[in-house]
Amino acid sequence: MLAAALVASLTGSIWAAQNAARSPSRTDYEITAELDGDTKILTGAETVSWTNGSGETVSDLWFHLYLNAFSNNRSTHLVEAKGKLRDTEMEEGWGWSRVTSIKLVDPDTKALKDLMPSFKYRYPDDGNEDDRTVFSVDLPSGVPPGATVDVRVEWEAQLPRVRRRTGYKDDFLLVAQWFPKLGVYEEGRGWNCHQFHMNSEFYSNYGNYDVELDLPAKYEGKVFGSGVQENQRVSGDRVIVRFLAPSTRDRYDADATGKVPAVHDFTWTGDPRYRIERFMFDPAEWEEQYPEEVAFARAALGEDRIRMRKVDVTVLIQPERADQARRHFRATSAALFFYGLWFGEYPYEHVTVIDPRWGARAAGGMEYPTLFTCGSRCFTTPDMYVPESVTVHECGHQFWYGLVGNNEFEAAWLDEGFNSYADSEVLWRVYGPRRATTDFARLPVDGVAVGSTFAEGKTGEILSLRRIPLPFGIPLKPVRPSGFLDRWRAQPRLTFVKQWSDPRWRDRSGYLSDPDSDPIDTFAWEHVDRSSYRTNSYPRTAAALRTLQEVVGDEEFLRGMRHYSETWRYDHPYPDDFFRTFQEGAGVDCQWYFEDVFRSTKTGDWSVEVSQRVRPRKRGFIQGQGGVFMEHRPEEEEDERDEDEGPWLAEVVLRRDGGLRLPLPVRLTFADGTTDDQVWTRAEQEQETWKKLVFETETKLVAVELDPEGRNFLDGDVSNNRWYHEVDSTARWRWGERVLSQAQHYLHWIGGIGG
């Protein structure tokens, strides 16, 4: 690999020169590994070249051994997960990683100095001495600023049965976080090298990867990894495959931002059953389909900012789902186009899309540089968003996480939340509303139940003979669960209703599931529970960004996000970097919003109340010009007015409940079709929790709408945001009929067969 080392050195110098102002350090890897096809044990060796970009002399090196999270039930990951991975008790299929040698390479003589005597496991987050996911070694002399140190590491790893993100299922391999991986040195903080927690992902420096894999020959032509395959050769019953990430061409060519691409991880996959489908993403085809989106981006960002490249897309599909390959490609293209339009082009020549094998679902829905896994099923349609949703989301990670490499341990929302916001925007534009279905025996049926019956509770279990409690805690189960019986019982065609949803509002629904347990800006493993972690990292951040878009304006929002994404490309931003850079790009001072929404648990519920009546005719004693009171008694015919005849006296009361204060538009609509748009300002809300509008109008007030465009996704209850003079009195009866019909069919079923 001498030639590879020279190329790496040269391309590293180019990368450092063009990206020096942004990226603090760089880590390059040369890796060789051999897999035992029977035991799934990897034997590997790597040369890690780390360039110290900090202003400090560094005297040690800290590494991750992620696979040790799956080595036993005492690891921090398994303790936090209560021994389960994806709801499966971890009792077998363990995985581990063991360093057998680590040596310093002398820069002049290339002699090796043993560092194993200083090897020690670290547990900086929780003090769990049984955790083995982080280790360090001391260096004989410090690495000064700007210098590079090379270390040679040899290790063995047992791949786990895939239950979360990585591992094997039969001959299927998804091998991620599989090698000893250097942490990130941060000036003033030291090594940022957290333990592998249940609620955390990854963080590492950018660089180049040169990886050679020695595998059983059955994987010939069916092995794919980050970057591009450089070559492949067969030797006896083995196949040797080499990858470069990024590709040689990408290492030399600057992207649209003027920076040279790099990656911060390497993952690979193999499966003899893969069906390989190859496509080409052409942005010109998408520009023709969405001219208004392109025009808006050009108006907001400038003509010279809209640039995207063609990308080779390889879809690795399972045979039983081969007809979905083009759907995977279209969803991938949708993400490459819209994310590229909004946040800057995808800078690599290739991306690989993986459909995991049946039984390896836990490997799905995960992102790695230039490669990601999806998740699908049979009998789906695009409007069900399967596999479209997960494909758009995971491809979107190529931009957030892939190109803007935030610390996912400490600020997962900078990746997951940004991606959740963007993938919903893409799904809505390309696929429209999502159609809800209900599964019976893994077969989808259109529609959803309007409400729950007691079929799911203890009473329902007894009546349907599913579970009858007996003494001594031994239940009787005459009827086993059956999807077909459930479908017969539910009669979905008669009792279900069609449901279509906007993915952007599904983000809001997710936010409301846990809106105030923790601030968004919380370390991943410090949330009160997994529900809080997921809510804050995904939908709550998406809702916060979508509401920010309304606060600052659409063009300003796009400029702010683009400026942030390009400024921090191939670098490691933290929350304050986002707050500052966004405001620079948007040209808007909204620090108050970031503090209130991202760093507090403030919530808000805005509501409107209206009362109006016809202004009464003069009646009683009215004082005239000379001070004399004159009695006024209107004739009867004067009171006989049309019910819509004015003038009217109206009183509108706006209320705010909670600590969050956001400027909200208010729209008053009158019977003649005219409207009056106002803004309930943040300053007014700081003074009072309410605002009262009292006025007289010749035309009846027929509607008052808080947030009329529906762009405040942080409102805790939007049902009280609108007042209408006329109310739909039949809706409650329509829904009530459905609920009663569902209960009736269930009771008939119980009475007829009892299970």
Domain check: are 740 and 688 in the same one?
Answer: no
d(CA 423, CA 546): 12
pLDDT greater than 90 at residue 745: no
d(CA 363, CA 175): 9
Of the candidates 272, 14, 66, which has an alpha carbon nearest to the alpha carbon of residue 175? 66
Domain-embedded: residue 119: yes
Other beta carbons within 10 angstroms of residue 506's beta carbon come to 18
Confidence bin at 475 (pLDDT 50/70/90)? confident
pLDDT greater than 70 at residue 1: no
Domain check: are 612 and 483 in the same one?
Answer: no
pLDDT greater than 70 at residue 750: no
pLDDT of residue 501: 96
Domain check: are 16 and 97 in the same one?
Answer: yes
Q: What is the CATH number of the domain that holds 32?
A: 2.60.40
Domain check: are 680 and 740 in the same one?
Answer: no
Domain-embedded: residue 409: no
Alpha-carbon 69 to chain mean position: 23
Please state the rounded mean pLDDT for residues 525-544.
Answer: 96
Domain check: are 491 and 609 in the same one?
Answer: no
Which pair of tokens denotes residue 590?
């909204």
Domain check: are 173 and 34 in the same one?
Answer: yes
- What residue type is 658 in one-letter code? G
Domain check: are 93 and 164 in the same one?
Answer: yes
| Residue where the block lists tokens 């936090």 | 80
Confidence bin at 6 (pLDDT 50/70/90)? very low
Domain-embedded: residue 52: yes
Domain-embedded: residue 3: yes
Residue 22 contacts residue 567 (beta carbons within 8 Å): yes
pLDDT greater than 80 at residue 632: no
Report phi then psi at 232, rounded to 5.
-150, 140
Sign of the alpha-carbon torsion through 13, 136, 397, 232: positive
pLDDT greater than 50 at residue 711: yes
Domain-embedded: residue 272: no
455 versus 247: the higher-pLDDT residue is 247
d(CA 179, CA 48): 11
> What do you get for the CA distance between the two ends of the chain, in Å?
68
Domain check: are 683 and 710 in the same one?
Answer: yes
Half-sphere exposure of 316 (CA within 13 A, CB side): 27
What lies within 8 Å, CB to CB, of 127 at 6+ separation is none
Other beta carbons within 10 angstroms of residue 626's beta carbon come to 6
pTM: 0.91
Domain check: are 740 and 653 in the same one?
Answer: no
pLDDT of residue 408: 96
d(CA 271, CA 355): 10
Residue 337 contacts residue 138 (beta carbons within 8 Å): no
Confidence bin at 468 (pLDDT 50/70/90)? confident
pLDDT greater than 80 at residue 15: no
Q: For the segment 392-433, what is each residue's pLDDT rounded down to a tens digit?
A: 999 999 999 999 999 999 999 999 999 999 999 999 999 999
pLDDT of residue 462: 74
Other beta carbons within 10 angstroms of residue 541's beta carbon come to 27
C-alpha distances out from residue 431 to 294, 372, 426, 498, Å: 18, 21, 8, 17
* Domains held by the chain: number: 3
pLDDT of residue 726: 86
Domain check: are 648 and 740 in the same one?
Answer: no
What lies within 8 Å, CB to CB, of 407 at 6+ separation is 184, 192, 203, 414, 572, 574
d(CA 594, CA 544): 9
Which pair of tokens denotes residue 725?
């003079």
Domain check: are 741 and 697 in the same one?
Answer: no
Domain-embedded: residue 68: yes
Q: For the segment 183-209, what is each residue's pLDDT rounded down to a tens digit?
A: 999 999 999 999 999 999 999 999 999
pLDDT greater than 80 at residue 43: yes
pLDDT greater than 70 at residue 64: yes
DSSP H helices, 98-176, are none
CB burial readout 44-60, b (16+ within 10 A) else e: bbbbbbbbbbbeeebeb
pLDDT greater than 50 at residue 16: no
Domain-embedded: residue 468: yes
Domain check: are 710 and 746 in the same one?
Answer: no
Given 180, 205, 227, which residue is the final one in a domain? 227
Domain-embedded: residue 539: no
Q: For the segment 258-277, what is each residue's pLDDT rounded down to a tens digit?
A: 999 999 999 999 999 999 99
Given 195, 210, 227, which residue is the final one in a domain? 227
pLDDT greater than 90 at residue 744: no
Residue range(s) defining the domain that contains residue 658: 605-617+642-724
d(CA 596, CA 581): 18
Which pair of tokens denotes residue 196?
């592998």
